[in-house]
Structure 1
């Protein structure tokens, strides 16, 4: 199981870094195919100077959105490779203006031909894998510029602290409230069944010991939500079960956040699939499951619950 994939969106930076490293490795192979003695990291600096000769390293860093230190290092390497030259400005001797050398000018047409081929190759990749990825990346950069990620995380933290809400793991002392929350909603619509009593009266034996877990949601020091992951016997998956939110805490998105936490925990546990059973009268719950990504099961297995008439699954790979 791919751990970066298991971590989900929280590992966005690591996921992008891994893709970047793979593309950089591919770029080295491409340059070798074209017999170009050229480093992938040189490309944006070299190509920008080719299009706009007379720029300084500072100006290049601003246009590329890279650090001055990183650009300066690339410039040094390009100068050492005799592809770029730096000359003092006539108006300010401290400013070093960059332009292609004769060797750089000779390399440029070969690089332009390779660039055209690479453009077509990447367009083919994007069309096959994600047609709108480039637009999405542009939007992501714009939103990060408008409100950096650290500010968004700080806002999320403030919302959590203000509400006093957090999600934690079950302990043995939580069995009464775990039972109470589920008995409340089950008896509102149905009758308790033997499978309910096994899970609610003996969660240690029925849920935890076989490899499952229980998550609880707290708000203002009170447990107001719960859900369980019950290990499936014949596959690396779990049943999402015994999901309950106190009536006083409903309508605030707590069920969705609890469900997201359960899905993420299942990924961390190496699950490839989540399965659940519900009932068609539980409209808000079914809407929540669909929002989490669950879809109907074509051929559901036999259920221990008489009330079960909806069967859904979510693939995690």
Structure 2
């Protein structure tokens, strides 16, 4: 137990596996007490077949929540142990089903008293515990179905790494980074166009001097993302030239840049943000929706790669 106390919740899976192994070992002793020849891991499949209906591997897997390969392996072991057998489908002889043998049927009769005693023993143990493990397992299964452990870890990683991200106003020292980040992104998906060269080679003249702004994302003081607000007519800015380095993927930098641009636009008393993109960029489109942008039909774009226009009311 000292190991688990030291490692903590990171070893949750290992600790549950340890508990499962302990319960399985003790279950084997229980089967021996009732003179029942059965491997504890067969129980879910056995119980499913004990209802008397012949079932396919897929049916059993869906019913007990196990994978198809897992049920197939257990079924083979049960067949080898003489507890189950393969039978042909009545309507289609090409289909194989699993059923209990006579030996399996006899076990099912003998095991009923064991069921009663085991259920009572578990209820008694739960009554002695401070927490209801059954309800806790149900709750955890539900939580992990809603959001997997992998996605939960990704979110925590993003939070941790985001704490080291700064979004700052552009200065001339970041002109090369602004250009390189965008060229790398554009050439990954499309091709550079005339308007790209204008904005990236001359950001001061094309963006800043016209009332626009550029924001740079730094991760541990290294430029890893950029985005521009280009002044349009009236009280509207275009959100443009957003690019994030592939090495900073998964850190939520695009979202941080988007939020910073929105905050900057509000500070400038803008009423709308406009952007152009392409629907093949699914993560980007998802990001824009998350930021609150909605699809619109706008004016013709100067960019060949544009096939969607979006707008955010501020």
Task: Give the Cα–Cα distance (whole angstroms) in 2 for the partners of residues 19 and 4 of structure 1.
Answer: 12
Q: Distance in 2 between matches of 1:2 and 1:68?
A: 37
Aligned to 2:67: 67
1:301-316 → structure 2 map (5 Å cutoff): none
Separation in structure 2 between the aligned mates of residue 162 and residue 94 of structure 1, nearest angstrom: 57
CA displacement, residues 24-77 of structure 1 (integer Å, 9 cap, x when unaligned): 110111111111111111111101111252211111112222121111111111
Please report how far the alpha carbon of residue 94 of structure 1 lies from its aligned counterpart in structure 2 after TM superposition. Answer: 3.2
Larger radius of gyration: 2
Match of 1:150 in 2: 150
Report 1:1-317 matches (<5 A).
Answer: 2-51=2-51, 53-164=53-164
CA–CA distance in structure 1, aligned partners of residues 122 and 62 of structure 2: 25
Does the 8 Å CA contact 1:88/1:94 hold for their aligned counterparts? yes
Distance 1:65 1:27 in 2: 21
Displacement, 1:83? 1.4
Q: Deviations over 1:76-112 (max 9, x none)?
A: 1111222112211122333212222111111112112
Give the 3 Å change call, closer, same or farther, for CA 52–162 of structure 1 in structure 2.
farther
Q: Shift of residue 145 of structure 1?
A: 0.7
Instruction: Compute the displacement of 1:122 (Å).
Output: 1.0
8 Å CA contact 1:164, 1:221 repeated in 2: yes
SS at match of 1:51: coil
Q: Distance in 1 between matches of 2:54 and 2:33?
A: 31
Q: Which runs of 5+ in 2 are unaligned?
A: 166-218, 222-314
- CA shift digits 1:249-307 (9 cap, x unpaired): xxxxxxxxxxxxxxxxxxxxxxxxxxxxxxxxxxxxxxxxxxxxxxxxxxxxxxxxxxx
- Counterpart in the other structure of 2:259: none
- Residues of 1 paired with 2:130 and 2:110: CA distance? 29
The TM-score normalised by the length of structure 2 is 0.51
Q: Which runs of 4+ in 1 moved over 4 A?
A: none
Contact 1:53 1:100 in 2 (8 A): no
In 2 relative to 1, CA 52–2 (structure 1 residues): closer, same or farther, beyond 3 Å? farther
Task: Output the TM-score relative to the length of structure 1.
Answer: 0.50
Report the Cα offset of residue 131 of structure 1.
4.1
Provide the C-alpha distance between the structure 2 equivalents of 1:132 and 1:62, rounded to a whole number of angstroms: 26
Cα distance change on mapping 1:42 and 1:162 into 2, 3 Å: same
The answer for unaligned runs of 5 or more in structure 1 is 166-219, 223-317
CA distance in 2, matches of 1:84, 1:39: 13
- Structure ranking higher on relative contact order (CA contacts 8 Å, 6+ apart): 1
Structure 2 distance, partners of 1:85, 1:130, is: 43
